């Protein structure tokens, strides 16, 4: 397996853990803000590394999710800075859901590297 694939997988797992920690943290300045910044960074890095991993020699539908993540995370940060907490929450929850769905698809679809690692 290429090194970039391992980096992508590690970043995705770190992002998932940080997102869950940010969700569990009290929603006031402090832990939630720090965990949220780390989670947002991990989400963006996970999305960026995905572009070095084209499936079957080309990009897949999961790369659309990476593009959405790269656009929506900065937008969610901007929203919370504008005081639009509900919109920020909704977008970040959608990003977390997208991360989870992408992981499930990557694990369950035959022919994907993660599927091979888990079931091959």
Give the whole-number percent of the chain exceeding pLDDT 70: 96
Quick one: three-class SS letters along 59-77?
CCHHHHHHHHHHHHHHHHH
Residues 4 and 10: beta-carbon distance below 8 Å: no
Q: With pLDDT > 90 as the criterion, what percentage of the chain qualifies?
A: 63
In this prediction the pTM is 0.88
User: Is the separation of the CB atoms in 76 and 31 below 8 Å?
Assistant: no
CA angle 32, 100, 21 (to 5 degrees): 20
More confident residue, 46 or 109: 46
Show me where the domains of the chain are located: 3-119
The mean per-residue pLDDT over the stretch 23-47 comes to: 93
pLDDT score of 29: 77
Cα dist from 27 to 24, 32, 85, whole Å:
9, 6, 10
Confidence label for 57 from pLDDT (cuts 50, 70 and 90): low
Distance between CA atoms of residues 117 and 90, nearest Å:
33
């Amino acid at each position: 397996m290429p090194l970039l694939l391992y980096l992508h997988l590690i970043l995705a797992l770190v992002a998932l853990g940080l997102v869950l920690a940010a969700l569990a943290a009290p929603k006031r300045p402090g832990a939630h803000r720090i965990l949220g910044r780390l989670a947002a960074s991990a989400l963006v890095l996970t999305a960026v590394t995905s572009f070095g991993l084209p499936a079957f020699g080309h990009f897949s539908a999961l790369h659309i999710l990476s593009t959405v993540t790269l656009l929506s995370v900065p937008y969610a940060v901007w929203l919370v800075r504008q005081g639009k907490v509900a919109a920020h929450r909704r977008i970040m929850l959608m990003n977390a859901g997208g991360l989870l769905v992408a992981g499930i698809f990557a694990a369950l679809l035959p022919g994907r590297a993660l599927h091979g690692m888990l079931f091959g």
